[in-house]
């Protein structure tokens, strides 16, 4: 039996992973024994222990098709609120770096000195 068929036997129909910084999100479409589809969204973060070894911390949401519209509405409202109201945050990298001159900031008078 191929790996693809084995996956389908367990109810896995589609999988999409999205790497986002230190996190990876997995969007998996699965089916119940009654052949009803649902979505699992898994957040996975790499964590380092005190022994130097790493583990993955995972959080999972099960989302059923009867809840898709309400979930999307809530998610869109929350994202819109963040985009419209969140303060701009300057990263430490940008604020600690001295301002660099671009190549176009050089004047021809500087070349003679």
Token pair listed for 57: 């911390």
Query: Which of 6, 59, 51, 7 has its CA nearest to residue 29?
Result: 7
Q: Is residue 81 included in any domain, yes or no?
A: yes
Q: 25: domain CATH number? A: 3.10.450.700
- Looking at residue 10, its pLDDT comes to 60
Higher pLDDT, 92 or 97: 92
Average pLDDT across the chain, whole number: 80
Is the pLDDT reported for residue 42 higher than 70? yes
Q: Is residue 99 included in any domain, yes or no?
A: no
Note the helical H segments in 1-113: 3-9, 68-85, 92-96, 108-111
According to DSSP, residue 31 is labeled E
Contacts of 6-13 with C-beta under 8 Å, sequence gap 24+, read 13/37
Q: Is residue 78 included in any domain, yes or no?
A: yes
Higher pLDDT, 49 or 91: 49
> How many CB atoms are located within 10 Å of the residue 7 CB?
14
The pLDDT confidence band at residue 44, using thresholds 50, 70 and 90, is very high
- How many separate domains does the chain show? 1
The single residue listed with the structure tokens 């989302």 is 63
Q: Is residue 55 included in any domain, yes or no?
A: yes
Higher pLDDT, 90 or 29: 29
- Looking at residue 74, its pLDDT comes to 98
Averaged pLDDT for residues 92-99: 48
Token pair listed for 37: 């589809």
- Looking at residue 4, its pLDDT comes to 41
Q: Is residue 50 included in any domain, yes or no?
A: yes
Q: Is residue 112 included in any domain, yes or no?
A: no
Q: What are phi and psi of 70, to 5 degrees?
A: -65, -40
Q: Is residue 22 included in any domain, yes or no?
A: yes
By residue range, what is the domain housing residue 60? 3-86
Instruction: Please give the model's pTM, rounded to 2 decimal places.
Output: 0.63
């Amino acid at each position: 039996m191929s790996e693809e068929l084995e996956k389908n036997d367990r109810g896995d129909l589609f999988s999409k992973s999205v790497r986002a910084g230190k996190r990876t999100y997995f969007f998996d479409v699965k089916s119940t024994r009654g052949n009803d589809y649902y979505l699992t969204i898994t957040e996975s973060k790499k964590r380092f222990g005190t022994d130097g070894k790493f583990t993955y911390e995972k959080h999972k949401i099960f989302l059923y098709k009867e809840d898709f519209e309400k979930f999307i509405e809530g998610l869109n409202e929350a994202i819109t609120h963040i985009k419209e109201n969140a303060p701009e945050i300057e990263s430490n990298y940008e604020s600690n770096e001295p301002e660099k001159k671009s190549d176009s900031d050089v004047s021809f008078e500087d070349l003679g000195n």
